[in-house]
Chain A
Amino acid sequence: MSPIGSETNPLRVAIIGAGPTGFYAAGHLLDQKKIVVELDMFERLPTPFGLVRYGVAPDHQKIKSVTKVFDKIASNPRFRFYGNVELGQHLSVAELCQFYHQIIYTTGAQTDKRMGIPGEDLQGSHPATEFVAWYNGHPDFRDYQFDLSQESVAVVGVGNVAVDVARILCRTREELLKTDIADYALEALSQSRVKEVHILGRRGPAQAAFTNPEVKELGEMADTDAFTLADEVKLDPLSEAAMAASADRATARKVEILQSYAHRQPTGKSRRLMLRFLVSPLELTGNEQGQVTAMKLVQNELYATESGSLRPRATDRYETLPVGLVFRSIGYNGVPLPDVPFHHKWGVILNQSGRVVDETHQQPVVGQYTAGWIKRGPSGVIGTNKPDALETVECMLADLAEGVTLQPENSSPDAAAAFIAQKQPNYFSYADWLKVDEIEIARGQAVGRPRIKFVMAEEMAAAIGKPLK
């Protein structure tokens, strides 16, 4: 038989997860000049793009333009998409090994870390990602309920998800009407009685993860005034020294903007957004119905670790914040995949530079790889996953050159297609997705919105005339 990667015996790769990393890995593989690669991408949802569709805020449409790059990758005749196909439910790793030389897991980080404080499970306390998935029309979260009759909301964390959640809570109906937010979320948010949103960061303004455009955007909303507290945005000596040493102008500017918010006067807008720093939640308290009513906070101070990082340390100063709704956004973890070695504490697949390794001997598992957030943990912007995927692809190609691949019983694409169709007859192809995409955009354009999303697979199938079995 001709060597793997040749025209008559292409390298067959299964990609698990159709988010940005999956597409970047596909792009790197299809760019190979000396190796012929054929890709099958599997996604448990009917639609591709992962967090670009279900995570990026609906009022940040420009960020979603990366999908044009992914469309181009998907147009390669050696690329196939199988949406609505889930590893563990429709296919197992052992079955994939029968049809592919290599498997790459790019499933991202799907769950929130818990705060680990009393009262965290009271009604009205939610992971921020559930709210994000809900307003973005993720089918798994369509029926979630958030009590938007509450007037005061706390968002724990200062990363971009926390900022997105706070901003969406503060947007007016008119602002949201320009987005592709899910219709049911648009209606619910239009009826919202939220008057105050508190974003809570445990460290100071210089350590806040959000970017300067994000913090400026918070200060420029149509019907929300954003404020900070002067004492909390004043730089402590350690932060001041760290900033002077790094000469980081972006951080200096961020601190300036946040300090300017402390001197703002109310302008009569309906809502108030408080950006708080150096505070940590200690406890959520509730009423007799088990509904959260308040959050106990401790004020922090910063100290330098041996290696120079600035960490928060609790003081003996406390406060109680009346809140009826809480979203936690303090970090994310990946979800283990069936039969794939996992580092549970860090929420990542066990790997060495992208090669999956076994738990016992920490040796590479032949033919299995990982990339993106499920490989290294959640960090960076969408594009950060491109070099990360490249590192993994380089490992895959090096192993191929050494002859270290899976030995599939049948590597014909037709055999794989038949097997998948038998396991999940209701899979969505990329052609199906392109039809869904076209209809969603047309529905949106008719009313001046970027798109109006379908939520459930059945709605999508009906819209494109695809019979479900």
Chain B
Amino acid sequence: MKVQLILATKVKGVITITPEKSLQDAAALLTQHGIGAVVVVNPASQLIGILSERDIIREMAQNPQLSSQTVDQVMTQTVITGTPEDDIYSIAHLMTEHRFRHLPILEDGNLIGMISIGDIMKAQRDMYRGEVNTLEMQLLADDD
């Protein structure tokens, strides 16, 4: 299974934020879209970081005065990215091992989407459900 499979049904694309925005803006964006992370982009729409709930929580633990902070002060700057051709199993393994939950997807250097660990879980769940359904149906056919 490829990443493209997940992106195909998420055509609305990826939610982004610019680095000078406040953490309050970022938190509002996360809440508005019901997501766990935003990609941080420069004016040329290039990926320069990722800001997740976890980044905000980590900062909150150290600095209760969050409102004055900007996105680029808190975001993760070393971002692992994927491509539509990447294998979902490899990404599931990577997320588990490196303990992250969001992967921006680039194509020819352009940001085209983001997949979350929830997307991966759903794709795997649907695949297993499909296989079980198919096998059950064939077993039942044997009984006829």
Contact = CB atoms under 8 A, between A and B. Distances in A.
Interface of A: 62-63, 65-66, 68-69, 242, 245-246, 305-311, 343, 346, 348, 350-354, 357, 362, 375-377, 379-388, 391
Interface of B: 1-2, 4-5, 7-13, 80-87, 89-91, 93-94, 103, 125-127, 129-134, 137-138, 140-142, 144
14 contacts: A65-B140, A242-B90, A308-B91, A310-B90, A350-B11, A352-B11, A352-B12, A362-B11, A362-B13, A375-B8, A376-B8, A383-B130, A384-B131, A391-B9
Contacts of A309: 82, 85-87, 90-91
A65 B138 contact: yes
B130 A380 contact: yes
A381 B134 contact: yes
A353 B141 CA distance: 32
A357 B131 contact: no
A379 B126 CA distance: 11
A226 B23 CA distance: 61
Contact of B9 (A63, A245, A354, A382): A354
B90 A376 contact: no
Contacts of B125: 387
Contacts of A385: 130
A352 B86 contact: no
A63 B90 contact: no
Given A306-B81, A307-B90, A309-B90, A379 B1 contact: yes
Residue among B4, B82, B141 with the most chain A CB within 10 A? B141
Given A246-B89, A307-B86, A309-B90, A386 B12 contact: no
A68 B140 CA distance: 10
A306 B140 CA distance: 44
Contact of B10 (A63, A69, A352, A382): A352
Contacts of A375: 8-9
Nearest to B133: A383
Contact of B90 (A308, A348, A362): A308
Contacts of B12: 352, 357, 362
Nearest to B87: A309
A306 B80 contact: yes
Contacts of A245: 93
Contacts of A384: 126-127, 129-131, 134
A387 B90 contact: no
B141 A383 contact: no
Contacts of A310: 87, 90
B106 to A, nearest CB: 10
Contacts of A381: 130-131, 134
Contact of B11 (A65, A246, A357, A383): A357
A386 B130 contact: yes
The list of the 3 closest CB pairs from A to B, nearest first, reads A384-B130, A383-B133, A65-B141
Contacts of B144: 65, 68
B11 A382 contact: no
Given A245-B93, A307-B91, A387 B130 contact: yes
Nearest to B11: A350
B86 A305 contact: yes
A375 B81 CA distance: 24
Contacts of A376: 5, 8-9
Contact of A377 (B5, B81, B86): B5
A375 to B, nearest CB: 6
